[in-house]
Amino acid sequence: MKLGGLGLQRLLRIASVLIIVGLITEIISLCWVHPLAFVLFAFVSASLMGLGILVYLASIVFAVPPPPGDRG
């Protein structure tokens, strides 16, 4: 199966955004010793980063490389 419409670079950008947002929420959760900080980390940060990793792995497996003119 190939994700023709998306392209490798687009998937990489999506993965990067998910991971960056997940990491920022992880930093916020680390500034706070409270049960809600744990919830923020477990349900938001870890989920976003996990999803980002999956999108990156999907980009390796499924994405169609972009045409040469679309690079950069």
Partner 1 sequence: MIASSGLLVALIVLTIVLASVFLVRPSITAGVTGKILAFVGLCVLPALCIDAGMSTHMERSEQTKFCISCHAMDNYGKSLYVDDPKYIPAQHFQNHRVPADNACFACHADYTIYGPLKDKIRGVTRIYLQYVSKPPEHITIPGGYNNNQCLHCHNGARSFEENPVHIVIMDTLTSNQLSCISSGCHDTVHNPSEVDHLKMWSAGQ
Asked if 62 contacts 17 with a C-beta cutoff of 8 angstroms, the reply is no
Q: How far is CA 1 from the centre of its chain?
A: 21
Q: Looking only at residues 27 through 66 of this chain, which bind partner 1 when binding is defined by CB under 8 A?
A: 27, 29-30, 33-39, 41-42, 45-46, 49-50, 52-53, 56-57
Residue 6 binds partner 1 (CB under 8 A): no
Alpha-carbon distance 54 to 47, whole Å? 10
Q: Supply the minimum distance, in Å, between the C-beta of residue 52 and partner 1.
A: 6
Asked if 38 contacts 25 with a C-beta cutoff of 8 angstroms, the reply is no
Residues that bind partner 1 (CB under 8 A): 8-10, 12-13, 15-17, 19-20, 22-24, 26-27, 29-30, 33-39, 41-42, 45-46, 49-50, 52-53, 56-57, 71-72
